[in-house]
Structure 1
Amino acid sequence: MKTSTNKGYVKRTQKDYSLSFKLQLVEEIEQGHLTKTQAKLKYGIQGDSTITKWLKKYGNFDWENRLSYSMSETPEQKILELEAKIKLLEKQKARAEHLAERADKKVIIFDMLVELAEKEYNIDIRKNCTPGLSTSTKNNTKKH
């Protein structure tokens, strides 16, 4: 790594950036502590699109559907904003559905593995509890 004494920052290569550094930088920008340009100068990041890529990859903002906002919104701008929100919500819904489907598949696979292990090793892995109150709870409710 080379140090540039006249500009006060460390010149880096792409391999020098850790995940924690990238996440910290993205958080600083998203919280409004720094702009992309300020972050680039502060941390000596050379590429113009490097920070933008990190923001897209690690940030919380939906960069695909971003809009430029002005002080006074016309009805057309409001419609565009609402359409962008709809796209974002549809994207989030699709992601949630995908994750739910994956979770369902994992549960099925887990159940199959437990069942196979129970048969193969002739042991009970799952608790054989019947739904309802336990005996200690039943006794407590009768006393009252």
Structure 2
Amino acid sequence: MTEEAKRKYIKRTQKDYSMSLKLHVVQEIERGELGIKAAARKYGIQSHSTVTNWLRKYGNFDWEHQTPSYMPKSKDQKILELEQKIKLLEKQKAFWEHQAERADKKAIFFDMMIDMAEKEFKIPIRKNSLPEESNTSKQRKKKQ
């Protein structure tokens, strides 16, 4: 190695690389933009085996069965998934409509209870006037 190359070379460990760099390198390789050795050279990674380890850890390739774990879905599969999502959203909508209706009924019930308590005990429970302004908001208005 020349002296200039020796000065530029820095021995690194796995811990020196950020997670975002690892994932970026894996994505570039999986998209076919770079090979393993080219990625190691481009990003200054100490060895191509380091990149291979990242591919095993963070990639979409099933290394045990040697098949990609992401398989493109057919139109029928996509349609079925979308139909399931629609059903789920309809169920959620019905649930939240029921919750809103229930909350409205509770509010009506509590109003009736307050009315009954006011009549029976002959005391005003509800405030008839608007709440007074705080001292800080009064001071702000005076400054303006």
Q: Normalising to structure 1: TM-score of the pair?
A: 0.46
Say which one has the larger Rg: 2
Q: Normalising to structure 2: TM-score of the pair?
A: 0.46
